[in-house]
Amino acid sequence: MEIEDLDEIYREYLHVPPSNNFNDEEHDNIAENENNELEDTEPVEHISETDEIAQAAAAFVQHQNGDNICINNEGLNMAKITGDCGCLAKCINQFEQDEIITHILSMRELPKEGKDMYLMGKLKSKGVDKSRSRYGERKRTRYAYTFDDREVCRDVFLLTHDIGESYLKSLLKHMNTNGIAPRKHGNCNRRPKNAFSFEEISNIVQYLKNYARLHGLPQAAPPNRHDSEPHVLLPTCESKQSVFDTYISACQADGTRSVHLTTFKNVWSSCCPHIRFASLHSDVCNTCKRLRESVTIAQTEEEKIETSQNYISHIEAARRERELYNGWLSKSRDEFSNYNQGQVLKNVHYTIDFAQSISLPHHTDQVGQLYFLSGRKVKVFGVCMEGKRKQYNYLVDEDEGILKDCADTKGPNATISMFDHAVECYGLNESECGIHCDNCPGENKNRYMTGYLAWRVLTGQHQKISLMMQFPGHTKCLVDAGFGQAKKLFRRSNCDTVSHLADVFRKSSSSNEVVQYNQENNEITWQWRDWKSFLSVLFKPVPGIRKYHHFVFRHDKPGIVIVKEKCDGIEKEINILRRPLEEFDPLARPEVIPAAGLSRTRHEYLYSKVRPYARKEHQAAFCQAPGEE
């Protein structure tokens, strides 16, 4: 036994101060001498003075607490359960031990409030009238204690209900004062002594509002119906800690009492929830960003009013375009929900867009060196048909493009070829349709796309086509949602080939379908065509096409495109037909362009640098040797 343990026993039970008879060096010397003596003599049973004191202390403790104390794994005092209760009736002998133990454990499972109400319901008054007493009103009330509907003594009641003497006394006092009602803590609904005053909390709220007025960007309207007032967005470079630091500096300069960070955050969340930090965004509208900055740095009231009006006008224009897009979605879905075979549809809607290129191979445990290499690129082009709730994702491998190394996959020839295949194979033979796409001159907004749509109307494939450019900077649409679902699953998947990537797209969402250029039987799904050469002979470019965002092609006005700068703008008709209609051949088609494959340099790079990082069983499918193809 350690010296510290003996000292603790001295103080607690024997009330004797600890002794310091020798220091550590003397103790070590004595122990060494004793060991030497024991080596020379036979072993003799030896009990030191400290052991005798420890045994005496243990006996004293056992005498104080009872001779037969046994605590089981449930924390039950088995000595009291199996022993005598001490009353003349020997009431504890009426019950089995298992019955008592089960009831104790059940009491421990009750919440505190439920336990109180249960005990108050079981405590019964003896029925003595409190008003009848020789010396006036009675001060004490006698209660009957029961267990299992049998009256027991007070000690057995305490044991079986797993409570102590003080617990029972406080419960009886509460019953005499308030009757059978839930007990409340004494500090309930009482204001703490160290609570902040109303003025101090008001100072925090006023500081936050002033800070947001100086550094924040107020929004035009609440983002949803759950918010009562528009948000005020603080810069992303700041945090609640930085705002709190400036608050502390202001309080010190003013000589007012300040609060700690936790209280500051709680007041912010409860009193000023509309003051928030701007979240990180991708694909942010440059006009919105520039106008927000102008509102923030404006000095005079005239500048603030002017920049705010410009910002509101920009947001309103984006909102109108978004309402037009949502209107097309609603009409397309409503019409398709009532679609019957043979019915001619007039509200079919397409949304087309390119996703970011995907690099292969990709593994969940990505090797660090692969980040420094240029993997095999796969282009993804999406055509979303909102009425069918389907999105067709065209996957183009690096050796399947029109030019070497898939260099021109986002050009007019590739875009029109894939969209033409989607309309021919997955369309519904509709007479009228609407198309939403990015306001990108290289992909969609060019003379070749307008010529292609005019050609479809002239050849009778459609009666009317509406081409609508999404508002610049506000281009989020359903095709992006399909890309996002695939991207989330791609991050958690191992992909070495285009076939693996196609499986990821199929599994990502029930609406995602995959269209590969080369099928498993080496058949080509669609053909690249030279639409640029074909259409440039038939149609002229639209003058000033960059300023227009809406184009309508109608069968009753062949060769005419109706343009508008905005959805509610003024219509203008422009003739883009180069030749007379009599010379137009409706059966003519552009020439087919075969896939260009990989350049020698790129092929060798993929084989020597990137292929070793693909899984061994998929390396041959990822990239063959340059001489084997």
Residue 183 in any domain: the answer is no
Chain centre distance of CA 281: 16
Same domain, 272 and 391: no
Which tokens is 306 given?
A: 């002017």
- Check residue 85 and give its pLDDT: 84
292 pLDDT above the threshold of 50: yes
**Cβ proximity of 495 and 506 under 8 Å:** no
122 pLDDT above the threshold of 50: yes
Same domain, 115 and 231: no
pLDDT in tens, 546-603: 999 999 999 999 999 999 999 988 999 999 999 888 888 888 999 999 999 999 999 9
- How far apart, in Å, are the Cα atoms of 307 and each of 290, 303, 418? 10, 6, 43
What is the mean pLDDT of the segment spanning 131-154? 76
The secondary structure of 398-436 as a DSSP string is TTSSSSGGGTTTTSHHHHHHHHHHHHHHH----SEEEEE
- Nearest to residue 381, comparing CAs of 431, 317, 437, 441? 437
40 pLDDT above the threshold of 50: no
- Check residue 543 and give its pLDDT: 93
pLDDT in tens, 483-531: 989 999 998 999 999 999 999 999 999 999 999 998 877 789 999 999 9
Residue 155 in any domain: the answer is yes
Nearest-angstrom CA–CA distance, 142 and 406: 96
Q: How many residues are there in the chain?
A: 629
- Check residue 28 and give its pLDDT: 47
216 pLDDT above the threshold of 90: no
Chain centre distance of CA 337: 33
Residue 70 in any domain: the answer is no
Residue 15 in any domain: the answer is yes
- Check residue 74 and give its pLDDT: 64
- The last residue of a domain, from among 255, 280, 305: 280
Which tokens is 427 given?
A: 């369309």
When pLDDT is cut at 50, 70 and 90, the band that residue 178 belongs to is confident
SS (H, E, C) 176-224: HHHCCCCCCCCCCCCCCCCCCCHHHHHHHHHHHHHHHHHHCEECCCCCC
Q: Quote the number of domains for the chain.
A: 4
- Give the 3-state secondary structure of residue 392: strand
What is the mean pLDDT of the segment spanning 45-50? 46
The secondary structure of 541-560 as a DSSP string is PPTTGGG--EEEEETTSTTE
Residue 331 in any domain: the answer is no
23 pLDDT above the threshold of 70: no
266 pLDDT above the threshold of 70: yes
**Cβ proximity of 315 and 471 under 8 Å:** no
Same domain, 275 and 392: no
79 pLDDT above the threshold of 70: yes
**Cβ proximity of 522 and 513 under 8 Å:** no
- Nearest to residue 122, comparing CAs of 209, 45, 180, 51? 180
Same domain, 447 and 553: yes
212 pLDDT above the threshold of 60: yes
Same domain, 153 and 236: no
Same domain, 164 and 229: no
Which residue shows structure tokens 């029972």? 168
Residue 289 in any domain: the answer is no
305 pLDDT above the threshold of 80: yes
Same domain, 94 and 237: no
- Check residue 39 and give its pLDDT: 43
Q: Which residues pair with 561 in a beta bridge?
A: 553, 574
Same domain, 139 and 248: no
Same domain, 275 and 372: no
- pTM for the full predicted model: 0.61
**Cβ proximity of 553 and 454 under 8 Å:** yes
Which tokens is 160 given?
A: 């079986």
- What range defines the domain where residue 24 resides? 3-65
Same domain, 161 and 233: no
Same domain, 163 and 204: no
Same domain, 413 and 544: yes
- Nearest to residue 469, comparing CAs of 433, 444, 432? 444
pLDDT in tens, 604-614: 999 999 999 99
Longest CA–CA span in the chain (Å) reads 132
Which tokens is 233 given?
A: 């967005």
Residue 494 in any domain: the answer is yes
Nearest-angstrom CA–CA distance, 67 and 530: 103
- Give the 3-state secondary structure of residue 47: coil
Which tokens is 444 given?
A: 């969609």
What is the mean pLDDT of the segment spanning 14-42? 45
In the DSSP assignment, the letter for residue 627 is T
- Give the 3-state secondary structure of residue 108: helix
Choice between 237 and 358, residue whose per-residue pLDDT is larger: 358
Residue 184 in any domain: the answer is no
